[in-house]
Every structure is written in structure tokens, then in C-alpha cells.
Structure 1
Amino acid sequence: MKAAVYTQYGTPDVFQIREVADPNLKENEILVRIHSTAVNSGDVRLRKADPFAVRFVFGILKPKINILGSVFSGEIERIGSNVTKFKAGEQVFGHTDMKFGAYAEYICMPEDGSLSLKPAALSHEEAAAIPFGGVTALHFIKKALIREKQKILVIGASGAVGSAAVQLAKSYGANVTGVCSTNNKDLVKSIGANQVIDYTKEDFTKNGESYDLIFDTVNSISVLKASRSLTENGIIILSAAGMYEMLSGIWLNIKSNKKAITGIVKHNASDLNFLKELVETSRFKPVIDRTYELDNIAEAHAYVEKGHKRGNVIITI
């Protein structure tokens, strides 16, 4: 099968398009012919080994996993002998979690993995744009126990996680303010934000507003500075936190009634099914910035690495 392979850490040019062996189908797995995947911030960090600590898990000198890509949408080509939940010919979308491997024509997934039937009204490109941002945003919003009419601020509201967070918070009945650049104000408003702050013109920490929840999806502001705009028992979500931000969050938890939430996202089929239902009831719409072919994976990575994408960058295979 055709795949985008990398055997060393570095710039986007480390990718090579190669023919590799097809995956071996196990009795509890399904074989998916991938039509679309996406380039996410996690893929970029692994390709660069940034932060350096990535190497302690994925390989000190060179990557142990040579095919990146954590999300996909495609069609089931074959099923293992013990599979009962799916059948050949069905269209599915999902997340590989820490297995990766979606920058390729085929992938094997356990039938009880993070996958669901694709919403019929969506293209494969649109479906592949759901699992990364959608599941990440949903994971943290559930941990924060978001409630109706709460005031929520989403920093990085035009990105993959941010655009999902805006829509999910609205589906819970919250009043949502999105923070983004001038060029993305109309987009953020169109996906449901009640108010939009242009960070190039306004500092939300100085506008006198307090929020029940601040969702920082891009790690763009100091935790302690942002926390000043929280209500007395407010929560800040740090979905893109580095080590310093995690420590700042722990300090906030110790020294105040405010709470910082961070951690690793857990992927499961139930969250995908929930997002599928939101799509089918017109309460969630995947946002796509650009689409590239697999042969142009390096160009797609270079674009995502700039940090200004709107929603998702999709790869067609």
C-alpha cells in the first residue's frame, strides 16, 4: 500500500511516499480503506520531536512509529472472523489513538476501538475533520461539567479544537465568547459564538468580564494571567499545555478556589457517536481550511506548523 513514511525527526521534508506492506488483519479487527485523514498539531509535534520528551516515548534517536496520522474516514474492506459490530462496505470514521498509521491507504482497527459509522450527509473529508478537535474538546468539556447559561471563553476559537469547543459549548446551552484573529471573526461567529474578541485589537484580560470557564486551546497566554478573568470558582482548561503550564495549573489549584484542568485525552467510540448525533441534528459542523493529496503531505505539515490554520487541514488518499 502507499503511505507517507518518516524515519527521522525533523522538518516536513522528512516524509517520503513509499510502498509498504499492507497491515495484517486480526480476527477482532476491521480493515479500512482510508479516503481521508488530517494533519493535526500532535502530528507536527511528533514529526519534530518537540518537546524533546516526545523521544522518551516514541524513540530517542529516531521514531519507532514510521507512519503518522491519527484520524481517518474510509470504507471497510474486510472484517476479521470475530467481528460482529461492523460489516464490509460500511463507511466509518475514527481515531487511532497512540497507534497512528493513518497516513496510508489502509489501516486495521479493533472493532471496539474509537470508530463509528460515518454520518451519511458528510463527505470523507468532513468526517476526518471531526475526531481530533471534536473528541479533544468534548473530553475536556465533560470534565469541566459545563452547564447551561455559563459564560465560556474559548481561546483559539478558529482552530480544530477551538471551533469544536465553541460548537459543543453552544450545544450545552452556554454563552460563548470566541477569541481569534481579525480574519477569523466571521468564521467563529458563524459556528455559534455569541461574542467574538479579536486578540489583535483587544486583551480579554482587560475588558472587565469574568468567565465561568476559559478553554485555552492554543497555549497562548499565561495560566495565572488568564485565571484573573475567571469567576471565583471558575475553571480553566489547558488542552495544549506544556510542562510549565501544567505546573502553573497545579499551583492555581492549590492556592485558590479556581481550578485548572489538563491531561491526556481518552478516545472512545461513545464520544464519536455523540459527535455523529450532533452532526446529524445540525448542531456540529466540521471546519476545513485546506485539503492536500497524500503526495503533498510535506506541504500540508509546513502549513499547519505556521500555527494559523482555520479548523482542520485534510489529506485525501
Structure 2
Amino acid sequence: MKAIISTKAGSPDVLELREIPIPIPKDNEILVKVHCASVTAGDAALRRFNRAVLSVVGLLAGFKPMIIPGVEFSGVIEATGMRVKSFQPGDEVRGTTTGLSKGANAEYVCVPETSRHGVLIRKSPHVTHREAAAATVGPMTAVQLLKKAGLKPGEMTLVYGASGSVGSAALHIAAHYGGAVDGVCSGTNIELVQSLGAEIVYDYKTVDFISSGKKYDVIFDAVGKLKKTDALKALKEKGRFVSVKSMTKEVKEELEFIQDLQVKGKLKPFIDKSYPLEEVKDAHILVDSGRKRGNIVISISGE
């Protein structure tokens, strides 16, 4: 099979397309033929991270440095191990490879039926593989942080960094949980963020949302660049501030909730660009440029 291999830290040039054997699932594992995967800011960060340090951190946290990148995927089960009970060949599935050394930027990936780090669910026939791969970790992060904020119906939310994967998902999910949603992004992305449902959009390069005088119930920092002291100036008396700097985890039930929103048309991931597997390096270059909007999908088989 074709797969992207990365054995050292560095620029996108460390990513190599190679032919390797199709993995054989262990007793508790599922072999998935990958239809679509993704390249995220997290993938790019892991690519750049010092491998020796990552190995030590992984040993403590219970995960392995990724040899094949790609955390998010959607595809069809090719084979299952003898102890797998909940899935069978032919099932369409979506999920993550979190904690595994071999990810989904490949034609096939093996994932455990249940995992302490990653998630796996059946894909709805009403959601395409592209839509599934593009709406996984970002929306799960948004769901958990908005739950942490205790967002209530009728409350107003500001999403800082609203044009990225997490931020664009947070716009939809905040609207579902609460009420009006505003956004902050660069001027080139204002129309995009408006199209995703934001009522007021601030260009962070030219407008200080704090000086607008508008107060919010929740401010969601989707890029980890907003100081809490600044956010507090634009919060109501009992307002809450949440940031992607907070720890989150992947929860199966939350991915099922996200899929339900997709089926109902309440969450539509914005896909900036799609690349074939052979051009994963170009996808990483786009992410590193800081100009990625929404999500990047890697189309591998069928879509």
C-alpha cells in the first residue's frame, strides 16, 4: 500500500511517500480502507516536534510517536480481528488514530475496536467520507470546551480565531447550544466566517473587539493566542473564558453527537482544500504558512 512516512522531525520535506505492506489486524483490531483523511495544525506540530522528547512524553502518556501521520479518517472496514464484536467487514466507519504510531495518511490503517486515546464509530450514510474526515477532532474540541463553559440557550459567544478547524466548528456548535455568535479572524476570512453563521466579525488586525464595548457570556479562544486578561474585559459579569490551551480528550459519544448534528444539517465542516495522498507534503506546507482555513482533506479512495 502507499503511505506517508515520517521518521524524523522537521519541515514538510521529512514526509516521504512509500510502498509498504498492508497491515494485518491483531485480534482486537480493525483494518480500514481509508477513503479520506486530513492534515491538521496538530499533525504539523507533531511533525516538527523533537522525536527524542516526543518519545519520552509518549512513554509517560501511553502513546507512540507517529511514523505514519494522520489522526482523522473515514473509510470502510476491510477485515477484523477474531475478538472484534461491534464491527464487521463492509461497515463504513470514522474516527481517529490518536495514540497509535501508524496513522491514516495511508491507503489502509489498523485501529483497535476500543482505545483509551482514539475513537471509532459507524459513519452515517448521510455523511460523506470527506465530511466525516473534516469533522472529528476540531468539533470534539469545540464541544468539550463549550460544555466546560456551560453555554446556555440565549447566551452570546465570541469565537476568537473563527476561521480555523476548531473555530469554524465552534461557530456552529455555539449556535446550537446557545444563541448569537460573533467571530474574530483576519480580514481575508471575514466573508467565510459570516457564511458560517457569525453575526458580527472583527478583523483582529484592524479592529479591537474589546473596544467595541460589546459584552459576551462566553469567549472561546480557538487558537490559543488570546490573553485571559484581555478576554475578561469583554465578558459579562458572570462570563466565562475557555481556550484550546486547556486539555481535552476524545469521547465516542461526542463524535456521535457531532455526526448527529451533521445529519441534521446543523454542522457543515468548511473544507479549504483537498489533496491526493501523493501531495500530503503540499498540505503541510499550507498549514505551516498559517493560511489554512477550516479543514484540509486528503482524498485517498473513492472521494
Q: Normalising to structure 2: TM-score of the pair? A: 0.90
Distance (Å, rounded) in 2 between the aligned partners of 1:55 and 1:232:
44
Distance (Å, rounded) in 1 between the aligned partners of 2:168 and 2:50:
24
**What is aligned with 1:121?**
126
**What is aligned with 1:110?**
112
Choose the corresponding residue for 1:302, options 277, 285, 295.
Answer: 285
**What is aligned with 1:168?**
173
CA contact (8 A) 2:182 2:199 kept: yes
Choose the corresponding residue for 1:214, options 203, 208, 219.
Answer: 219
Q: Secondary structure at the match of 1:303?
A: helix
* 1:147-162 equivalence runs, <5 A: 147-162=152-167
Letter in 2 for 1:307: G
Q: Which segment is superposed worse, 268-277 or 225-234? A: 225-234
Letter in 2 for 1:269: K
Distance 1:285 1:16, change over 3 A: same
* 1:21-100 equivalence runs, <5 A: 21-49=21-49, 54=54, 56-57=56-57, 64-99=65-100
Give CA-to-partner distance per residue, 1:263-305, whole Å, 9 cap, x none: 1x21122111101110111111011000111111111101011
Q: Secondary structure at the match of 1:226?
A: helix
Structure 2's unaligned 5+ residue stretches are none
Distance (Å, rounded) in 1 between the aligned partners of 2:277 and 2:186:
29
Structure 1's unaligned 5+ residue stretches are 242-261
- Equivalent residue pairs, number: 292
Q: CA deviation at 1:171?
A: 0.8
Q: Normalising to structure 1: TM-score of the pair? A: 0.86
Letter in 1 for 2:46: L
**What is aligned with 1:293?**
276
4+ residue runs of structure 1 moved beyond 3 angstroms?
A: 50-56
RMSD of aligned alpha carbons? 2.0
Q: CA deviation at 1:58?
A: 5.0
Choose the corresponding residue for 1:313, options 271, 296, 301.
Answer: 296
Letter in 2 for 1:47: R
Distance 1:25 1:266, change over 3 A: same
Q: CA deviation at 1:116?
A: 1.8
Distance (Å, rounded) in 1 between the aligned partners of 2:251 and 2:114:
8
Q: CA deviation at 1:212?
A: 1.4
Identity score, percent = 41
Choose the corresponding residue for 2:190, options 182, 185, 190.
Answer: 185
Matched, 1:139 2:150: no
Q: CA deviation at 1:71?
A: 0.4
Give CA-to-partner distance per residue, 1:206-263, whole Å, 9 cap, x none: 1111211111111233222222212223221110x3xxxxxxxxxxxxxxxxxxxx11
Q: Which segment is superposed worse, 227-236 or 295-304? A: 227-236
